[in-house]
Amino acid sequence: MNIVDKIVLQGEKEDEGKRIDVFLAAELDYTRSYIKKLIVDGLVFVNGKTVKPSYKVKENDEVVVNIPEVEKIDVLPENIPLDILYEDDDIIVINKPQGMVVHPAPGNYSGTLVNALLYHCKNLSGINGILRPGIVHRLDKDTSGVMVIAKNDKAHISLSNQIKERSVFKKYVAIVEGVIKDEEGKIEAPIGRHPVDRKKMAVIEDGRYALTLYKVLERFKENTLIEAVIKTGRTHQIRVHMAYIGHPVVGDPIYGFKKQKFKLEGQALHSRVLGFMHPTKGVYMEFEAPLPEYFKKLIEILRNK
C-alpha cells in the first residue's frame, strides 16, 4: 500500500477518554467512517502501536495517521507568485492571499500554496507527507495573512512544539456583524465537530478547549472592526467563536448571516501578526502582513455609511 501522507497529532488534556475515531474525525478533514477504516486497516498508530476504533485517547498520546493513495497523486511545482515577508535556510514566512488553498487534497491538486512553495523552495520539511510539505499550521482558504512554513524537519518540529505549547503569538483582524458594546472580551468555549453537519465546527460541551481574546478597534453603524488573539488553534476558531456570541464574521459563508450585504469572496478575516522563536537562532521573531485591498475598501465603505 502506497502511503501518500502522514499526519502527526498529540492528545491533549481535554481529549482524555475520547474514542480515537471520534478524536480524529474532529481534528481532520475526513469522515468518521473513513477514519474508522484507516484504523481497522492498521494505518493509525498511537505511541507506535496500532489500536482499535474504541481506543480511548490519553493526554500526550502521539497519534500518527497514514493516508493511503486512493488515486494517482501528482503534486507539481507551479510558478505562482508568493508575497514573501521573510526567508532563510530554515523557514519562509509568507502573506497568503484570500482564495488560496494551503495544501492539496483529493480533487484539488493544483493552485495551492504547496504548489507555489514547491516551485520557489528547493527544500521543505517532509514530516507531514507529500501533500503537506513544510506546512506547520493552516489558514482557511478565504482567510488571508501571515503564515510560517518549515524548510526542514528540525524547524518543523520546533515550530510544531511551540504551537502545542501555545507559545506562538497569533493576532487577527476581522470585521464582524453588529456593534459590540464592550471594549474587549474573552470567549472561552470548547470547539468540536458539529453534531449534525460534520463539515462544520461548533461550540459543543465535549469539544476541545478554545480561548479567543478580542478588542474593538472601530465601530461602524452596523458592524465592528476587531482585533482577535487566539490562545489555541482550533479549526475555524475565530469564525466559530464570534458566531457563538452573535457577531459572525462578515462574508463568512458557513457561520455568517445567510444574506450578506457585501459582495465578498469570503470572510473578512486576516492574520495580521505571527510571532515565534526562530527554530535555530533561538530569538523571538514577529511578522506583520498588511491588510489586503478588499479589507481596506470594506472599512472605507463602512466608515461612509
47 Cβ partners below 8 Å, 6+ apart? 61, 62
Specify the amino acid at residue 254.
I
Query: Per DSSP, what are the bridge partners of residue 186?
Result: 213
Residue indicated by cell numbers 487577527? 172
Residue indicated by cell numbers 479549526? 235
Backbone region of residue 226 per phi and psi (left: phi > 0; alpha: psi in -120 to 50; beta: other values) = beta
What the block records as the C-alpha cell of 220 is: 461602524
Within 10 Å of residue 81's Cβ, how many Cβ atoms?
9
Alpha helices in 48-128 (DSSP H): 113-120
Q: How far apart are CA 42 and CA 250, in angstroms?
A: 43
Report DSSP state, residue 15. Answer: G
Within 10 Å of residue 194's Cβ, how many Cβ atoms?
16
Q: Which among 96, 72, 74 has a CA at the least distance from the CA of 84?
A: 96
Q: How far apart are CA 186 and CA 75, in angstroms?
A: 41
Catalytic residue among 61, 90, 140, 142: 140
Query: Per DSSP, what are the bridge partners of residue 175?
Result: 225
140 in catalytic set: yes
* Residue 236 near residue 254 (C-beta atoms within 8 A): yes
Q: How far apart are CA 174 and CA 212, in angstroms?
A: 13
Catalytic (active-site) positions: 140
